Chain A
Amino acid sequence: MNTQSPMEERLWDYIDGLGSPAERSAIEALIAENREWQEKYRELLNVHQLLNTSEMEAPSMRFTKNVMEEISRYHVAPATKTYINKNIIRSIGAFFLAMITGLLAFVFSQLKWSGANSGAASPYNKFVDSASSLGAEKLGWLKTFNSTWTIAFMLVVIVLGWVMLDMYLTQKKERAGTQA
């Protein structure tokens, strides 16, 4: 039973014309010598031939005429790329990137990396201390930055940034692969 699935998989690959020449020769030999493989091959080949020769469903005789009547009322719309200004999309992207970068730059610039005498152990506490010394409490925004949710939100933003970058690079790679 355990061998059933790999056997079928290998036979389907063989029927579909996939696999290396060496693999195909190995399967040919198995089909020729092994009765179990022979039977399974015949069974799968029947399904394959059945699917290959089966007819597609046809719509009514008037179908083409109906479509042509319908499209006579329309014109081909201009290509999307002609009316979507890529500069606008790039500007929106740049705005959000600048926001994230600016925020991160500000946060890191406020950290006292060498402040060993502050008694605060973690970088976060150092940040809070240094922010307090700047009079941030008076501004009230420190309360916001104290919130776990805010920190979680910032982390999500950073992770999303990485995901988007990854998607962009993957698309670029795929496009390069298609052109090649």
Chain B
Amino acid sequence: MHTELTDTEIIKRILQGEQAIFAILVERYQQYVFTLVLRFTDSREDAEEISQDIFVKAYRSLADFRGESKFSTWLYTIVRTSCITFLRKKRLDTTSIDNERTFLQLENKESTFNSNVIEQKSRHAMVNEAIRLLSPDDSQVITLFYKGEQTLDEIGRIMGLEPNTVKVKLHRARNRLKEKMEKHFSYEVRELFTPDGYG
């Protein structure tokens, strides 16, 4: 019954004092938040801790949500700032998630890849692994577009970019993803991308 409520309705009721109803929002967006956070950190434990912190922050500042954008868009701004703060605290040899050094760290993960293990994983796991090999910016734009169901305009607004720039970024990110898959999961990709391989 509760799941049919819109985000705005739920928020309105929470602001009127129904704290328990926040659980619906947590259920609805936990995978979205957790997936986005995992783009910033390798550790699932850390990701879970950050995600929990994000929902607490979202709850506390719920009165600031004006409903001008989607709740997921607003939530993403908290995800981003929380992840940046986490990375700074962890002193991940960088001061910015867009920093080239962070990207290099992610690139280095490639060398520790065990292709035998990967071969046994499902198609979905392969995509998620390939996305993790991308830079944070690339993986964010892909996750927001495909999993957050955000339009180019919305992604542009939350990333502070023009929709056209987002479009170009998305094109490039998908091409890089394809390259990563071809490089690290050549066997699966051959199966998938040959005319009779998909499906």
Name A's B-contacting residues (CB within 8 A): 8-9, 12-13, 18, 42-44, 46-60, 63-64, 66-68, 70-72, 74-82, 178
On chain A, the residues within 8 Å of B63 by CB distance are 76-79, 82
Q: Across the interface, do B20 and A68 meet the contact criterion of CB distance under 8 Å?
A: yes
- Can you give 8 contacting A-B residue pairs, CB < 8 Å? A13-B167, A47-B178, A51-B146, A56-B147, A63-B48, A71-B22, A74-B59, A75-B60
Mostly helix, strand, loop or mixed at chain B's interface? helix
In the assembled complex, the Cα of A56 lies from the Cα of B139 at a distance in Å of: 13
- Asked if B62 is at the interface (CB within 8 A of a chain A CB), the reply is yes
Picked from B26, B128, B178, B193, the residue with its CB within 8 Å of the CB of A67 is: B26
Query: In the complex the two chains form, is B127's CB within 8 Å of A50's CB?
Result: yes
Number of cross-chain contacts by CB at 8 Å = 115
- Chain B 176-197, CB within 8 Å of chain A: the 1/0 string? 0110010000000000110100
User: Are A12's CB and B174's CB within 8 A?
Assistant: yes
Residue of B nearest to A42 (CB): B195
- Please pick, from B31, B55, B62, the residue contacting A57 in the complex, using a CB distance under 8 A: B31
Query: Once bound together, how far apart are the Cα atoms of A39 and B186, in whole Å?
Result: 18
B→A interface (CB under 8 Å): 14-15, 19-20, 22-23, 26-27, 30-32, 34-35, 38, 44, 47-48, 51-52, 55-56, 59-64, 68, 123-124, 127-128, 142, 146-147, 167, 170-171, 174-175, 177-178, 181, 192-193, 195, 198
With A58-B34, A67-B52 as contacts: A80 and B64 at CB distance below 8 Å: yes
Asked if B48 and A54 make an inter-chain contact with CB atoms under 8 angstroms apart, the answer reads no
A25 to chain B, nearest CB (A): 20
B14 contacts A9, CB within 8 Å? no
A12 touches B48 (CB 8 A): no
A57–B35 CB distance below 8 A: yes
Closest B residue to A51 using CB positions: B146
Shortest CB–CB separation between residue B147 and chain A, in angstroms?
Answer: 5
Contacting residues, chain B, for A12 (C-beta < 8 A): 170-171, 174
Residues of B within 8 A of A18 (CB): 167
A50 near B64: Cβ-Cβ < 8 Å: no
Q: Are A77 and B193 in contact (CB under 8 A)?
A: no
Chain A hits for B167, CB < 8 A: 13, 18
| Cα–Cα distance between A6 and B35 once the two chains are bound (Å) | 31
Complex: A82 Cα to B177 Cα, angstroms? 45
Q: A54-B123, A71-B22 are in contact. List 17 more A-B contacts (CB 8 A).
A: A9-B171, A42-B195, A47-B178, A49-B198, A54-B124, A56-B32, A57-B31, A63-B30, A63-B34, A63-B51, A63-B52, A67-B22, A67-B23, A75-B60, A76-B14, A77-B63, A81-B64
Instruction: State how many angstroms separate the Cβ of A77 from the closest Cβ of chain B.
Output: 5
A71 closest partner in B (C-beta)? B59
